[in-house]
Structure formats: structure tokens, C-alpha cells
Amino acid sequence: MPITEILEQNAAKYGNDVCLVEINPEVKEVRRVTWKEYELIEPNPTTHYRREITWNVFNEKANRFANMLLSRGVTKGDKVAILLMNCLEWLPIYFGILKTGALAVPLNFRYASDEIEYCLKLADVDVLVFGPEFIGRIEAIDERISKNRLLFYVGDNCPSFAEDYNSLTANCSSVSPDIKLTDDDDAAIYFSSGTTGFPKAILHAHRSLMHSCKVEQAHHGQTKDDVFLCIPPLYHTGAKMHWFGSFLVGGKAVLLKGTKPKYIFDAVSQEQCTIVWLLVPWAQDILEAIDRGELKLEDYKLDQWRLMHIGAQPVPPSLIKRWKEIFPNHEYDTNYGLSESIGPGAVHLGVENIHKVGAIGKAGYGWKTRIVDENGNDVKQGDVGELILQGPGVMKCYYHDKKATEEVLKDGWLYTGDMAVEDEDGFIMLVDRKKDVIISGGENLYPVEIENFIRNHDAVHDVAVIGLPDSRLGEIAAAIIELKPNMIVTEEEINEFCLGMPRYKRPRKIIFADIPRNPTGKIEKPKLREIYCGVSLVEAQNKG
């Protein structure tokens, strides 16, 4: 069943219930003030910006956009790109695209003009929908991208080179268009995160989207009464596919703009959120704010918060140990997935397996896993190999890239590029990215292991380990360390702390600097290699 039918069902069952809330703590709510015969608009200093819509409005907006696209010649199989910050319009636009039979193509809001142009061409995009934050970037490439594409603008003060979304959709029919969709029809193109260089276009069918709904709900038991706090960008599979579990049962979601600990706690408290998906840096920031006394738990209503889960990157066990000390009643889960496997849940720990923190878990609902050697043969339990996946959420292909597709899709299995090991209980632990493995003097060093160890130091906020060229050993491990605010630590102190690791795993070089992460929280190691190794991003693509 195509995912668009779930929206129709929710509108029929829960039409007047609020389904989406948008909060921007950094913008004050606008209020109208009447003075004599004048009406003034001014910021309300006591209230942050907040909007909400019901399931009926959600479905009507999706239908209006779908019918507008159809009236402008968009047909089944066309591609419609979305370049918006998280907002109430994002998801109705996404579902409106799907209802036409066209493919939704979400774009990373951090893309520069040339990257936007590159992705539009790679995905054969016919229509671009963009918001006010991107006017300058789109204007810079307008003459090149608008010749054969429609440009629709979402927001106030529409630029001259685009058409206004609000006025175009206002008078369109709110009835769902009669477009037949099947599970095998193409649904969306997502782009790889870019931590490995240039993004690839990942093609998914409607079956993948529907499976992600079932996986997330099966893992975390969302009900109609749950409220999901969504903080990560909606262009990424992780955020949206975790929300899909609530979407499946008609639960409410809160779109929060901003990642400061206070913003998160305010939203949880005021909107009565029960499920929060965090990235590692945000969870670390929350713990540090609590330790500094900047966040006081008694100032917030948090009793209803039942589940905290993390994905998108390896999770330091020390972080979860500290989290459980502060929030002993929280269920915890970690999820593993890739954009190529429609985001979260291909592997998950399970809320009942808190004793296995450090592992990513076992095969998720409807998924199969194996750990294999270079020849595709299963390795012995306890040996390191590459994690491969099979299930209904695997991508169809890398769009327009047959060679790259053949490298990762083999005999129905998706080769993830992640090195992993299975313990005696069948739980899988990530060791590192295959391309990030450092070979030093013939020994394989796995940066994640070293990073997890160094994160246990009380002064360390974040750490990334990369390989530096060495004439004698080939490569050596270098640890780039970002310290907590106002902390001072010497290289000698870090080296002494690392004596707790086997000698061959200890980093040979310590660098104190900030750690760059992308919007989904992943360390941007190509950038670090460019800075410290003199390796360009093009060369880094081949390294990882």
C-alpha cells in the first residue's frame, strides 16, 4: 500500500486532531495590536513562534499542491525537488508530490549553489520548490536551472524569478487526485550525506517508504497518544522515517527549529513530547548543560517523556551510561540504517537490551543481516567483516550510476561499507567505516574504537580519529579533540590517558581543534583529511 493512503486514512479518522506543530524559539510570535484606527503588528516578547495544522488541513494542502503540479504538466515519474528548512509546509509538499506519482527529491539545506545545481541535474529534476533562506543561492544559478524547470517559492515576498506557492495553490482543488500508485512505483530520490565527497542519488520505491513506517512503529510501539519531537532536517531519511512510526498511527509531531538544550526541554515540556530522537552532539550538550546547572530538571514537565533514541552515527557507551543516571526511567534505543536502506531500523538495539549498550543490535523488523569478508563469505562469529543488509527498504539503485550500484548491490544484498563484528549473543557492533580503517604498520586500526575510548576523558566534548601519512608505518592515527568549554588539557595528559589502550591503538598525534559535523551529526572526515593531510575532497571521496 502506498504511503499516501495512510494520510487519507488519518484525515478520515482524526481530521480535526492536530498532527503537526512548528516551533521556532529564536523568533518571537507576531501579534496584532489595535491603536485608534490603526492596526499594528509587533513581536510578542513572551511567546515564541508556533504554528499548527490538523490532519484535515495536512491532507488538503497536499492535495492542493498535487493538483497544482498536475495542472502545470507534472506527470507520473517526473521529479520535484524540495529545498526548505523544517516548516509546516514541508511534509504536505512532500506528500503532494507523491500523490501526483512524481518523485520527491529532498535537498540538503547546506548545499551551496553549485551543489544544488549538480543535484538538480543528477536527479533530472523538473520542478524546484524552495524557501526564503535560499533566494540568493537560487538566484546565482537561476539562468542555468530555470530553462527547463518550474521554480516555486514558499514564503513571503516571492522573488521575480519564481512563482508564488501560496497564490498558486490557494484555489486548487483539495480533493485527492485520481493517480494510481503501486508499491513498485518510484517514490523518492535521496542524496547520500556527503561525508564521503560528492553525493549520490538514491532511488527508492513506495515499498521502501511504507516499510519504514512499519519498522519504526514495530520497534518503538508508537500510539495515537504519543508526541514525537522532530529536530533533525526533514530532507534526511532519518528524521522523516522516525516520524513515520507516529504517522502510521495518527500521532502528533513537533517540528523544532533549534538544537539548544533549553529549546529541546522547553518543547518536550510545553508540547508534552513522549518520544525524542537525538543526535550524539545534542545529547552531549544536554548532559553538559545539566552538569553546569544551566538546565534544572525541576523547571520542566518531563514525566511523560518515555523514549530517547539515537541514530546516524556510533553512540559512545559512556554517553548512555550518564544519560541513564540522570533519566533512569527513559527507555533507550539506538537505530542503524543508511539512506540506501531508507534510513533507520535496518538494525536496532531494542529497548529491552540496555545491557548491550555499545552494540547497534540485531536485524530490525523485516530485515536480514550478515557479516562477510572481501569475497562475500560469512566470517566467523567474533571476526570483523563488512555488514550487509537485505529487506524491503533497500534502494532500487543509485540513479544514473550503474557502476556504483553494482558495487553495493550484489545478489539482493546491500553492502553497507561498515565494518562490524557479532558477539556471542548475536548482537552486532560497528567497528568503523570500511574506508576509514587505518592501516598502520600492517595493523588495522578502527577509529571508532579509539574515539569511544578518548570520549571517556572528562574534558573531551568530541573527538575524531583519522589516518595521517607516515613514511615508515604507512599511516598513523591522529586524534582531533574538541574540548568542553573552559577546559584545558595538554597533549601529554591525553597521551597518558590513552595508556589504557593497547599500544598499537594509541594515537600517534594529538590535535586540539573543533570537529565538523554535518546536519545529521556525522563527522565530516573528508574535511579533516583536507585540513590535516592536504587531501582534497575529490581524493577523500575514494578514502571515505
What is the pTM for the complete model shown? 0.82
Q: Let me know if residue 395 belongs to a domain.
A: no
- 139-166 average pLDDT score: 94
Average pLDDT rounded to a whole number, residues 101-125: 93
pLDDT in tens, 504-528: 789 999 999 999 887 666 788 878 8
- Span 179-201, mean pLDDT? 83
| Domain boundary, last residue among 209, 235, 267 | 209
Q: Which of 209, 235, 259 is the last residue of a domain?
A: 209
Q: 254 has which bridge partners? A: 21, 229
Question: Once rounded to an integer, what is the mean pLDDT over residues 212-239?
Answer: 92
The alpha carbon of 393 is separated from its chain's Cα centroid by a whole number of angstroms, namely 16
341: nearest Cα among 365, 358, 374: 365
Q: What are 530's strand-pairing partners? A: none
User: 409-410 and 413-422 as β-strands: parallel, antiparallel, unpaired?
Assistant: antiparallel
| Lookup: cell for 118 | 549538480
CA dihedral 401, 404, 407, 410 (to 10 degrees): -40
Q: Tell me whether residue 428 is in a domain.
A: no
What's the number of domains the chain is made of? Answer: 2
Structure confidence at residue 520 (pLDDT): 62
Q: Which of 107, 192, 193 is nearest to 523 (CA)?
A: 193
| Pairing of the two strands 343-348 and 331-338 | antiparallel
**Mapping DSSP to helix (H, G, I), strand (E, B) and coil, where does residue 77 land?**
coil
User: Which is more confident, 541 or 77?
Assistant: 77
How confident is the model over 6-62, as pLDDT tens digits? 999 999 999 999 999 999 988 765 544 444 455 454 555 546 789 999 999 999 999
Percent of the chain, pLDDT > 90? 67
Bridge partners, 370 (sequence order): 388
pLDDT confidence of residue 542:
42
Helix axes 4-14, 90-100, angle to 10 degrees: 120
Burial of residue 509, with CB atoms counted within 10 A of its CB: 0-12 exposed, 13-18 middle, 19 or more buried: middle
In a domain, 524, yes or no: yes
pLDDT of residue 442: 61
The answer, yes or no, to whether residue 66 has pLDDT greater than 60, is yes
Q: Encode pLDDT of 155-176 as tens digits.
A: 999 999 999 999 999 999 999 9
493 assigned to some structural domain: yes
Q: Is residue 282 part of a domain?
A: no
Q: Note whether residue 303 is domain-resident.
A: no
Task: Provide the pLDDT confidence category of residue 237 given band limits of 50, 70 and 90.
Answer: confident
H or E element, residue 89 = none
Q: Closest Cα to residue 338, out of 420, 257, 261, 282?
A: 420
Q: What is the CATH number of the domain that holds 121?
A: 3.40.50.12780
Handedness of CA 332, 336, 339, 344 (dihedral sign): negative
Q: Which residues pair with 380 in a beta bridge?
A: none
Domain boundary residue, one of 175, 209, 243: 209
Domain that holds residue 186: 4-8+54-209
Region 482-500 average pLDDT: 92
Q: What is the percentage of the chain residues whose pLDDT exceeds 70?
A: 91
Whether 534 is covered by a domain: the verdict is yes
Question: Residue 101 falls within a domain, yes or no?
Answer: yes
Rounded CA gap, 384 and 390, in Å?
Answer: 19
